[in-house]
Structure 1
Amino acid sequence: MIEIVKNNSVKRRSRITGIFYLLVILFGSSSEYIRSIVIVEGNVSQTVANILSSELVFRLGVLSDFVMIVCYILLAVVLHSIFTKYNRTLSLLFLLFTLASSVLLCVSTFYQFSAILLLTNEFLAWSQLDLHTHVMFSLTKHLYMYLTAQIFFGLWLLPLGYLVWKSRKFPSIIGILLMLSCFGHLIEFLIYFINPEYKSLSYPGLMVAMIGEFSFCLWLLIKGIKND
Protein backbone atom coordinates (compact mmCIF):
# COMPACT_ATOMS: atom_id res chain seq x y z
CA MET A 1 0.00 0.00 0.00
CA ILE A 2 2.81 2.42 0.92
CA GLU A 3 4.57 1.61 -2.35
CA ILE A 4 1.40 2.33 -4.35
CA VAL A 5 0.94 5.70 -2.62
CA LYS A 6 4.60 6.53 -3.24
CA ASN A 7 4.33 5.64 -6.93
CA ASN A 8 1.19 7.73 -7.31
CA SER A 9 2.94 10.67 -5.65
CA VAL A 10 5.88 10.41 -8.06
CA LYS A 11 3.55 10.24 -11.06
CA ARG A 12 1.55 13.21 -9.80
CA ARG A 13 4.69 15.34 -9.42
CA SER A 14 5.76 14.29 -12.92
CA ARG A 15 2.46 15.43 -14.38
CA ILE A 16 2.54 18.72 -12.47
CA THR A 17 6.09 19.36 -13.69
CA GLY A 18 5.10 18.54 -17.25
CA ILE A 19 2.10 20.88 -17.08
CA PHE A 20 4.27 23.76 -15.83
CA TYR A 21 6.82 23.08 -18.57
CA LEU A 22 4.07 23.00 -21.21
CA LEU A 23 2.68 26.31 -19.92
CA VAL A 24 6.15 27.88 -20.11
CA ILE A 25 6.45 26.74 -23.73
CA LEU A 26 2.92 27.83 -24.72
CA PHE A 27 2.91 31.25 -23.06
CA GLY A 28 6.52 31.95 -24.06
CA SER A 29 5.80 31.04 -27.69
CA SER A 30 2.62 33.14 -27.68
CA SER A 31 4.42 36.26 -26.48
CA GLU A 32 7.23 35.69 -29.00
CA TYR A 33 4.71 35.38 -31.83
CA ILE A 34 2.85 38.54 -30.81
CA ARG A 35 6.10 40.51 -30.72
CA SER A 36 7.06 39.19 -34.15
CA ILE A 37 3.86 40.51 -35.77
CA VAL A 38 3.73 43.83 -33.90
CA ILE A 39 7.37 44.96 -33.74
CA VAL A 40 8.84 45.69 -37.17
CA GLU A 41 12.62 45.74 -37.00
CA GLY A 42 14.05 48.97 -38.42
CA ASN A 43 10.63 50.60 -38.93
CA VAL A 44 9.68 52.85 -36.02
CA SER A 45 6.52 54.32 -37.53
CA GLN A 46 5.07 50.94 -38.48
CA THR A 47 5.89 49.48 -35.05
CA VAL A 48 4.15 52.37 -33.27
CA ALA A 49 1.15 52.07 -35.61
CA ASN A 50 0.96 48.32 -34.94
CA ILE A 51 1.07 48.80 -31.16
CA LEU A 52 -1.70 51.42 -31.26
CA SER A 53 -3.92 49.43 -33.62
CA SER A 54 -3.35 46.15 -31.75
CA GLU A 55 -2.97 47.45 -28.21
CA LEU A 56 -5.03 44.67 -26.63
CA VAL A 57 -3.03 42.00 -28.48
CA PHE A 58 0.23 43.63 -27.41
CA ARG A 59 -0.96 43.78 -23.79
CA LEU A 60 -1.90 40.10 -23.96
CA GLY A 61 1.64 39.40 -25.15
CA VAL A 62 3.03 41.21 -22.11
CA LEU A 63 0.63 39.29 -19.85
CA SER A 64 1.75 36.02 -21.48
CA ASP A 65 5.33 36.86 -20.57
CA PHE A 66 4.43 37.40 -16.91
CA VAL A 67 2.44 34.15 -16.77
CA MET A 68 5.36 32.34 -18.40
CA ILE A 69 7.76 33.72 -15.77
CA VAL A 70 5.54 32.53 -12.90
CA CYS A 71 5.21 29.05 -14.44
CA TYR A 72 8.97 28.99 -15.07
CA ILE A 73 9.71 29.62 -11.38
CA LEU A 74 7.16 27.01 -10.25
CA LEU A 75 8.63 24.54 -12.74
CA ALA A 76 12.12 25.02 -11.31
CA VAL A 77 10.86 24.65 -7.73
CA VAL A 78 9.13 21.34 -8.49
CA LEU A 79 12.15 20.05 -10.44
CA HIS A 80 14.38 21.04 -7.52
CA SER A 81 12.22 18.95 -5.17
CA ILE A 82 12.57 15.99 -7.55
CA PHE A 83 16.33 16.14 -8.19
CA THR A 84 17.67 17.42 -4.86
CA LYS A 85 18.07 13.84 -3.57
CA TYR A 86 20.40 13.05 -6.49
CA ASN A 87 22.60 16.14 -6.17
CA ARG A 88 21.58 18.94 -3.85
CA THR A 89 24.23 21.37 -5.12
CA LEU A 90 23.33 21.04 -8.81
CA SER A 91 19.59 21.17 -8.14
CA LEU A 92 20.12 24.36 -6.12
CA LEU A 93 22.32 25.74 -8.91
CA PHE A 94 19.66 25.40 -11.61
CA LEU A 95 17.11 26.91 -9.22
CA LEU A 96 19.36 29.97 -8.73
CA PHE A 97 19.90 30.29 -12.48
CA THR A 98 16.11 30.21 -12.89
CA LEU A 99 15.60 32.99 -10.35
CA ALA A 100 18.30 35.13 -12.01
CA SER A 101 16.71 34.62 -15.41
CA SER A 102 13.24 35.39 -14.02
CA VAL A 103 14.35 38.72 -12.54
CA LEU A 104 15.86 39.78 -15.87
CA LEU A 105 12.75 38.63 -17.74
CA CYS A 106 10.54 40.68 -15.40
CA VAL A 107 12.61 43.81 -16.06
CA SER A 108 12.56 43.05 -19.78
CA THR A 109 8.77 42.67 -19.76
CA PHE A 110 8.39 45.96 -17.88
CA TYR A 111 10.36 47.74 -20.62
CA GLN A 112 8.00 46.23 -23.17
CA PHE A 113 4.98 47.42 -21.18
CA SER A 114 6.50 50.90 -20.81
CA ALA A 115 6.21 51.30 -24.60
CA ILE A 116 2.42 51.03 -24.24
CA LEU A 117 2.40 53.49 -21.34
CA LEU A 118 4.35 56.04 -23.39
CA LEU A 119 2.01 55.78 -26.36
CA THR A 120 -1.20 55.96 -24.31
CA ASN A 121 -0.14 58.75 -21.91
CA GLU A 122 -2.04 61.88 -22.93
CA PHE A 123 -0.03 64.14 -20.64
CA LEU A 124 3.32 63.73 -22.39
CA ALA A 125 4.11 66.93 -24.29
CA TRP A 126 6.63 65.32 -26.63
CA SER A 127 6.92 65.71 -30.34
CA GLN A 128 6.14 62.68 -32.47
CA LEU A 129 9.85 62.18 -33.11
CA ASP A 130 10.69 62.25 -29.38
CA LEU A 131 7.81 59.90 -28.57
CA HIS A 132 8.83 57.40 -31.23
CA THR A 133 12.44 57.59 -30.07
CA HIS A 134 11.51 56.80 -26.46
CA VAL A 135 9.20 53.97 -27.51
CA MET A 136 11.87 52.32 -29.63
CA PHE A 137 14.44 52.83 -26.86
CA SER A 138 12.12 50.99 -24.46
CA LEU A 139 11.68 48.15 -26.95
CA THR A 140 15.43 48.00 -27.56
CA LYS A 141 16.08 47.77 -23.82
CA HIS A 142 13.48 45.01 -23.68
CA LEU A 143 15.26 43.10 -26.44
CA TYR A 144 18.72 43.26 -24.89
CA MET A 145 17.48 42.55 -21.38
CA TYR A 146 15.59 39.56 -22.79
CA LEU A 147 18.75 38.34 -24.53
CA THR A 148 20.73 38.78 -21.32
CA ALA A 149 18.16 36.60 -19.55
CA GLN A 150 18.95 33.94 -22.17
CA ILE A 151 22.36 33.49 -20.51
CA PHE A 152 20.76 32.16 -17.35
CA PHE A 153 17.90 30.52 -19.24
CA GLY A 154 20.59 28.54 -21.01
CA LEU A 155 22.76 27.90 -17.95
CA TRP A 156 19.93 26.34 -15.94
CA LEU A 157 19.64 23.61 -18.58
CA LEU A 158 23.23 22.41 -18.06
CA PRO A 159 22.88 21.15 -14.44
CA LEU A 160 19.28 20.10 -15.16
CA GLY A 161 20.35 18.06 -18.19
CA TYR A 162 23.18 16.47 -16.22
CA LEU A 163 20.79 15.46 -13.44
CA VAL A 164 18.28 14.08 -15.96
CA TRP A 165 21.09 12.02 -17.49
CA LYS A 166 22.73 11.00 -14.19
CA SER A 167 19.53 10.04 -12.35
CA ARG A 168 18.66 7.38 -14.95
CA LYS A 169 14.99 8.25 -14.43
CA PHE A 170 14.68 9.45 -18.02
CA PRO A 171 16.14 8.41 -21.38
CA SER A 172 19.81 9.47 -21.54
CA ILE A 173 19.26 11.25 -24.86
CA ILE A 174 16.92 13.75 -23.18
CA GLY A 175 19.58 14.69 -20.64
CA ILE A 176 22.16 15.09 -23.41
CA LEU A 177 19.80 17.25 -25.49
CA LEU A 178 19.08 19.47 -22.48
CA MET A 179 22.81 20.00 -21.88
CA LEU A 180 23.29 20.84 -25.56
CA SER A 181 20.32 23.21 -25.30
CA CYS A 182 22.33 25.29 -22.84
CA PHE A 183 24.90 26.06 -25.53
CA GLY A 184 22.17 26.80 -28.07
CA HIS A 185 20.87 29.66 -25.90
CA LEU A 186 24.37 30.93 -25.09
CA ILE A 187 25.33 30.96 -28.77
CA GLU A 188 22.18 32.96 -29.55
CA PHE A 189 23.20 35.56 -26.97
CA LEU A 190 26.79 35.79 -28.24
CA ILE A 191 25.87 36.05 -31.92
CA TYR A 192 23.23 38.72 -31.32
CA PHE A 193 25.60 40.84 -29.23
CA ILE A 194 28.57 40.46 -31.59
CA ASN A 195 26.66 40.97 -34.86
CA PRO A 196 22.85 40.68 -35.07
CA GLU A 197 23.07 40.32 -38.85
CA TYR A 198 24.31 36.76 -38.32
CA LYS A 199 21.57 35.77 -35.88
CA SER A 200 20.40 33.06 -38.30
CA LEU A 201 23.57 31.14 -37.35
CA SER A 202 22.02 30.48 -33.94
CA TYR A 203 18.93 28.78 -35.40
CA PRO A 204 20.38 25.21 -35.48
CA GLY A 205 21.32 25.46 -31.79
CA LEU A 206 17.89 26.83 -30.91
CA MET A 207 16.30 23.96 -32.83
CA VAL A 208 18.24 21.49 -30.66
CA ALA A 209 17.05 23.41 -27.58
CA MET A 210 13.44 23.24 -28.74
CA ILE A 211 13.65 19.49 -29.39
CA GLY A 212 15.36 18.82 -26.04
CA GLU A 213 12.98 20.85 -23.90
CA PHE A 214 9.83 19.71 -25.70
CA SER A 215 10.95 16.07 -25.42
CA PHE A 216 11.51 16.46 -21.68
CA CYS A 217 8.11 18.13 -21.32
CA LEU A 218 6.30 15.36 -23.21
CA TRP A 219 8.12 12.63 -21.30
CA LEU A 220 7.05 14.17 -17.99
CA LEU A 221 3.44 14.42 -19.16
CA ILE A 222 3.14 11.00 -20.79
CA LYS A 223 5.65 8.62 -19.19
CA GLY A 224 6.65 10.38 -15.99
CA ILE A 225 9.60 9.63 -13.73
CA LYS A 226 10.76 6.05 -13.37
CA ASN A 227 10.13 4.62 -9.92
CA ASP A 228 13.09 3.94 -7.61
Structure 2
Amino acid sequence: MNVKTEHKNLSKTARLTGLWYLMMAVTGILGFMVFHSQVFVSGNAEQTLTNLVELESTARVRLLLEFGIVISQALTAVWFYKLFKDNYEWEAWTLGLWGTVNAIVIMISAISMASAIGIANSDTNALEDKVLLIQVFQNMIKYAWSIGGLFFGLWLFPMGYIVVKSKRMPVWLGRVVILGGIGYVSSAFIGYAGLDFSFNKFLTLPATIGEFWMIGYLLIFGIRPIKE
Protein backbone atom coordinates (compact mmCIF):
# COMPACT_ATOMS: atom_id res chain seq x y z
CA MET A 1 0.00 0.00 0.00
CA ASN A 2 1.50 3.36 -1.01
CA VAL A 3 1.75 6.34 1.32
CA LYS A 4 -1.11 8.29 -0.27
CA THR A 5 -3.52 5.36 -0.07
CA GLU A 6 -2.49 4.65 3.51
CA HIS A 7 -3.06 8.27 4.53
CA LYS A 8 -6.44 8.32 2.74
CA ASN A 9 -7.57 5.25 4.69
CA LEU A 10 -6.27 6.72 7.94
CA SER A 11 -8.15 9.98 7.26
CA LYS A 12 -11.37 7.96 6.84
CA THR A 13 -10.68 6.31 10.20
CA ALA A 14 -10.06 9.73 11.75
CA ARG A 15 -13.36 11.10 10.45
CA LEU A 16 -15.27 8.05 11.68
CA THR A 17 -13.61 8.55 15.07
CA GLY A 18 -14.79 12.16 15.00
CA LEU A 19 -18.30 11.04 14.05
CA TRP A 20 -18.54 8.65 17.03
CA TYR A 21 -17.09 11.36 19.27
CA LEU A 22 -19.68 13.84 17.99
CA MET A 23 -22.45 11.31 18.65
CA MET A 24 -21.18 10.95 22.21
CA ALA A 25 -21.20 14.74 22.68
CA VAL A 26 -24.71 15.17 21.20
CA THR A 27 -26.28 12.35 23.23
CA GLY A 28 -24.52 13.64 26.35
CA ILE A 29 -25.73 17.21 25.87
CA LEU A 30 -29.30 16.15 25.09
CA GLY A 31 -29.34 13.68 27.97
CA PHE A 32 -28.02 16.02 30.64
CA MET A 33 -29.02 19.50 29.53
CA VAL A 34 -32.42 18.74 28.01
CA PHE A 35 -33.95 15.61 29.52
CA HIS A 36 -32.24 14.68 32.79
CA SER A 37 -33.59 17.50 34.98
CA GLN A 38 -37.10 16.95 33.57
CA VAL A 39 -37.16 13.53 35.23
CA PHE A 40 -34.51 13.19 37.93
CA VAL A 41 -34.79 15.93 40.56
CA SER A 42 -31.69 16.13 42.75
CA GLY A 43 -32.46 15.57 46.43
CA ASN A 44 -36.15 14.91 45.81
CA ALA A 45 -36.92 11.22 45.35
CA GLU A 46 -40.68 11.80 45.73
CA GLN A 47 -40.83 14.22 42.80
CA THR A 48 -38.55 11.98 40.76
CA LEU A 49 -40.92 9.06 41.40
CA THR A 50 -43.86 11.16 40.23
CA ASN A 51 -41.94 12.19 37.10
CA LEU A 52 -40.99 8.59 36.31
CA VAL A 53 -44.69 7.68 36.34
CA GLU A 54 -46.28 10.76 34.77
CA LEU A 55 -43.44 11.42 32.30
CA GLU A 56 -42.53 7.81 31.55
CA SER A 57 -41.94 8.52 27.84
CA THR A 58 -39.53 11.34 28.69
CA ALA A 59 -37.77 9.06 31.18
CA ARG A 60 -37.35 6.40 28.51
CA VAL A 61 -35.95 8.95 26.04
CA ARG A 62 -33.43 9.92 28.74
CA LEU A 63 -32.53 6.24 29.15
CA LEU A 64 -32.12 5.74 25.39
CA LEU A 65 -29.81 8.76 25.28
CA GLU A 66 -27.73 7.08 27.99
CA PHE A 67 -27.59 4.00 25.75
CA GLY A 68 -26.39 6.31 22.98
CA ILE A 69 -23.60 7.63 25.19
CA VAL A 70 -22.49 4.09 26.12
CA ILE A 71 -22.42 2.92 22.49
CA SER A 72 -20.73 6.02 21.08
CA GLN A 73 -18.15 6.11 23.90
CA ALA A 74 -17.21 2.48 23.23
CA LEU A 75 -17.01 3.06 19.47
CA THR A 76 -14.95 6.23 19.95
CA ALA A 77 -12.46 4.35 22.13
CA VAL A 78 -12.14 1.51 19.60
CA TRP A 79 -11.71 3.85 16.64
CA PHE A 80 -9.08 5.94 18.48
CA TYR A 81 -7.17 2.70 19.03
CA LYS A 82 -7.50 1.87 15.32
CA LEU A 83 -6.33 5.38 14.39
CA PHE A 84 -3.15 5.38 16.46
CA LYS A 85 -2.19 1.71 16.93
CA ASP A 86 0.35 1.46 14.08
CA ASN A 87 2.72 4.09 15.48
CA TYR A 88 1.76 4.32 19.16
CA GLU A 89 0.53 0.86 20.06
CA TRP A 90 0.96 1.02 23.86
CA GLU A 91 -0.59 4.49 24.12
CA ALA A 92 -3.40 3.46 21.75
CA TRP A 93 -4.16 0.41 23.90
CA THR A 94 -4.29 2.64 26.98
CA LEU A 95 -6.57 5.13 25.24
CA GLY A 96 -8.90 2.39 24.02
CA LEU A 97 -8.97 0.60 27.37
CA TRP A 98 -9.65 3.67 29.51
CA GLY A 99 -12.25 4.87 27.03
CA THR A 100 -13.98 1.51 27.28
CA VAL A 101 -13.98 1.79 31.08
CA ASN A 102 -15.81 5.10 30.59
CA ALA A 103 -18.50 3.23 28.68
CA ILE A 104 -18.79 0.66 31.49
CA VAL A 105 -19.17 3.42 34.09
CA ILE A 106 -21.95 5.03 32.04
CA MET A 107 -23.57 1.60 31.70
CA ILE A 108 -23.91 1.49 35.51
CA SER A 109 -25.83 4.76 35.27
CA ALA A 110 -28.02 3.34 32.48
CA ILE A 111 -28.78 0.22 34.55
CA SER A 112 -29.81 2.44 37.45
CA MET A 113 -32.08 4.52 35.22
CA ALA A 114 -33.74 1.41 33.79
CA SER A 115 -34.22 0.03 37.30
CA ALA A 116 -35.74 3.31 38.53
CA ILE A 117 -38.23 3.36 35.65
CA GLY A 118 -39.18 -0.26 36.31
CA ILE A 119 -39.64 0.23 40.06
CA ALA A 120 -41.63 3.45 39.64
CA ASN A 121 -44.10 1.84 37.25
CA SER A 122 -44.48 -1.50 39.05
CA ASP A 123 -47.51 -2.52 41.09
CA THR A 124 -45.63 -4.74 43.54
CA ASN A 125 -43.94 -2.21 45.81
CA ALA A 126 -45.35 0.07 48.51
CA LEU A 127 -44.98 3.82 47.95
CA GLU A 128 -42.45 4.19 50.77
CA ASP A 129 -40.33 1.38 49.33
CA LYS A 130 -40.46 2.93 45.88
CA VAL A 131 -39.25 6.30 47.19
CA LEU A 132 -36.36 4.66 49.02
CA LEU A 133 -35.32 2.63 45.96
CA ILE A 134 -35.60 5.64 43.65
CA GLN A 135 -33.31 7.56 46.01
CA VAL A 136 -30.77 4.72 45.86
CA PHE A 137 -30.86 4.62 42.06
CA GLN A 138 -30.59 8.41 41.84
CA ASN A 139 -27.44 8.28 43.94
CA MET A 140 -26.02 5.49 41.79
CA ILE A 141 -26.57 7.60 38.66
CA LYS A 142 -24.99 10.64 40.29
CA TYR A 143 -21.95 8.84 41.70
CA ALA A 144 -21.37 6.73 38.61
CA TRP A 145 -20.86 9.95 36.67
CA SER A 146 -18.95 11.88 39.33
CA ILE A 147 -16.56 9.07 40.31
CA GLY A 148 -16.40 8.14 36.64
CA GLY A 149 -14.71 11.51 36.21
CA LEU A 150 -11.48 9.69 37.09
CA PHE A 151 -11.56 7.68 33.88
CA PHE A 152 -13.19 10.50 31.90
CA GLY A 153 -9.97 12.32 32.70
CA LEU A 154 -7.55 9.41 32.38
CA TRP A 155 -8.44 8.57 28.78
CA LEU A 156 -7.55 12.14 27.78
CA PHE A 157 -3.90 11.68 28.85
CA PRO A 158 -2.86 9.16 26.16
CA MET A 159 -5.04 10.99 23.63
CA GLY A 160 -3.25 14.26 24.25
CA TYR A 161 0.17 12.61 24.51
CA ILE A 162 -0.16 10.98 21.08
CA VAL A 163 -1.24 14.28 19.51
CA VAL A 164 1.73 16.15 21.02
CA LYS A 165 4.24 13.40 20.23
CA SER A 166 3.11 12.66 16.68
CA LYS A 167 2.41 16.27 15.64
CA ARG A 168 -0.23 14.86 13.28
CA MET A 169 -2.73 17.26 14.84
CA PRO A 170 -2.11 20.70 16.38
CA VAL A 171 0.30 20.38 19.32
CA TRP A 172 -1.77 22.78 21.40
CA LEU A 173 -4.80 20.59 20.86
CA GLY A 174 -2.92 17.78 22.59
CA ARG A 175 -1.82 20.06 25.41
CA VAL A 176 -5.35 21.32 26.05
CA VAL A 177 -6.66 17.74 26.06
CA ILE A 178 -4.01 16.73 28.64
CA LEU A 179 -4.92 19.78 30.74
CA GLY A 180 -8.55 18.66 30.52
CA GLY A 181 -7.56 15.23 31.81
CA ILE A 182 -5.80 16.81 34.77
CA GLY A 183 -8.89 18.92 35.42
CA TYR A 184 -11.26 15.92 35.43
CA VAL A 185 -9.10 13.84 37.75
CA SER A 186 -8.47 16.79 40.07
CA SER A 187 -12.18 17.61 40.17
CA ALA A 188 -13.06 14.07 41.25
CA PHE A 189 -10.42 14.04 44.01
CA ILE A 190 -11.27 17.54 45.28
CA GLY A 191 -15.00 16.82 45.28
CA TYR A 192 -14.71 13.60 47.26
CA ALA A 193 -12.19 15.12 49.63
CA GLY A 194 -15.06 17.35 50.74
CA LEU A 195 -13.37 20.52 49.50
CA ASP A 196 -15.54 23.21 47.97
CA PHE A 197 -13.42 25.73 46.10
CA SER A 198 -14.99 28.42 43.95
CA PHE A 199 -12.95 27.29 40.94
CA ASN A 200 -14.05 23.62 41.11
CA LYS A 201 -16.67 24.02 38.38
CA PHE A 202 -14.04 25.40 35.99
CA LEU A 203 -11.66 22.46 36.31
CA THR A 204 -13.34 20.48 33.54
CA LEU A 205 -13.58 23.45 31.16
CA PRO A 206 -10.29 22.61 29.34
CA ALA A 207 -11.63 19.11 28.70
CA THR A 208 -14.77 20.53 27.10
CA ILE A 209 -12.72 22.86 24.90
CA GLY A 210 -10.22 20.15 24.00
CA GLU A 211 -12.82 17.51 23.19
CA PHE A 212 -14.89 19.77 20.92
CA TRP A 213 -11.67 20.95 19.26
CA MET A 214 -10.71 17.31 18.74
CA ILE A 215 -14.13 16.49 17.27
CA GLY A 216 -13.95 19.42 14.87
CA TYR A 217 -10.41 18.64 13.77
CA LEU A 218 -11.14 14.96 13.17
CA LEU A 219 -14.27 15.70 11.14
CA ILE A 220 -12.84 18.57 9.09
CA PHE A 221 -9.16 17.72 8.65
CA GLY A 222 -8.88 14.07 9.66
CA ILE A 223 -5.20 13.59 10.42
CA ARG A 224 -2.00 15.05 9.03
CA PRO A 225 0.33 12.86 6.91
CA ILE A 226 3.54 11.64 8.50
CA LYS A 227 6.37 14.08 7.89
CA GLU A 228 9.34 12.56 6.16
Deviation track 1:119-151 (CA, whole Å, cap 9, x = no partner) reads 111122x2x222111111111112112222221
In the alignment, is residue 68 of structure 1 matched against residue 76 of structure 2? no
Within 2, Cα distance between the matches of 1:187 and 1:37? 29
What is the letter of the counterpart of residue 101 of structure 1?
Answer: N
TM-score by length of 2: 0.91
In the alignment, is residue 131 of structure 1 matched against residue 125 of structure 2? no
SS of the residue corresponding to residue 95 of structure 1 reads helix
Gaps of at least 5 residues in structure 1 are none
8 A Cα contact 1:27 1:64, kept in partner: yes
Gaps of at least 5 residues in structure 2 are none
SS of the residue corresponding to residue 121 of structure 1 reads coil
Q: Specify the alignment match of 2:12 in structure 1.
A: 12
Deviation track 1:71-113 (CA, whole Å, cap 9, x = no partner) reads 1111111111221223211111121112222222212210121
What is the letter of the counterpart of residue 28 of structure 1?
Answer: G
8 A Cα contact 1:108 1:141, kept in partner: yes
What is the letter of the counterpart of residue 75 of structure 2?
Answer: L
Change (3 A) 1:201 1:50: farther
In the alignment, is residue 102 of structure 1 matched against residue 103 of structure 2? yes
Range 214-223 or range 90-99, more displaced: 90-99
Q: Specify the alignment match of 2:45 in structure 1.
A: 44
Change (3 A) 1:133 1:190: same
Change (3 A) 1:76 1:195: same
In the alignment, is residue 204 of structure 1 matched against residue 202 of structure 2? yes
Within 1, Cα distance between the matches of 2:85 and 2:169? 16
TM-score by length of 1: 0.91
Q: Specify the alignment match of 2:86 in structure 1.
A: 85
CA RMSD of aligned residues (A): 1.9
Query: What displacement does 1:50 show?
Result: 2.2
Within 2, Cα distance between the matches of 1:141 and 1:66? 16
Q: Specify the alignment match of 1:146 in structure 2.
A: 145
8 A Cα contact 1:162 1:175, kept in partner: yes
8 A Cα contact 1:10 1:227, kept in partner: no
Q: Specify the alignment match of 2:25 in structure 1.
A: 25
Q: Specify the alignment match of 1:167 in structure 2.
A: 166
Change (3 A) 1:2 1:218: same
SS of the residue corresponding to residue 128 of structure 2 reads helix
Within 2, Cα distance between the matches of 1:194 and 1:85? 40
Query: What displacement does 1:4 show?
Result: 4.1
Range 115-124 or range 82-91, more displaced: 82-91
Q: Which structure's residues are more often helix, by fraction?
A: 1
Within 2, Cα distance between the matches of 1:35 and 1:193? 23
Q: Specify the alignment match of 1:56 in structure 2.
A: 57
For this pair of structures, how many residues does the alignment match?
A: 225
What is the letter of the counterpart of residue 202 of structure 1?
Answer: N
What is the letter of the counterpart of residue 160 of structure 1?
Answer: M
Within 2, Cα distance between the matches of 1:115 and 1:189? 25
Query: What displacement does 1:2 show?
Result: 4.1
Change (3 A) 1:17 1:187: same
Within 2, Cα distance between the matches of 1:48 and 1:211? 35
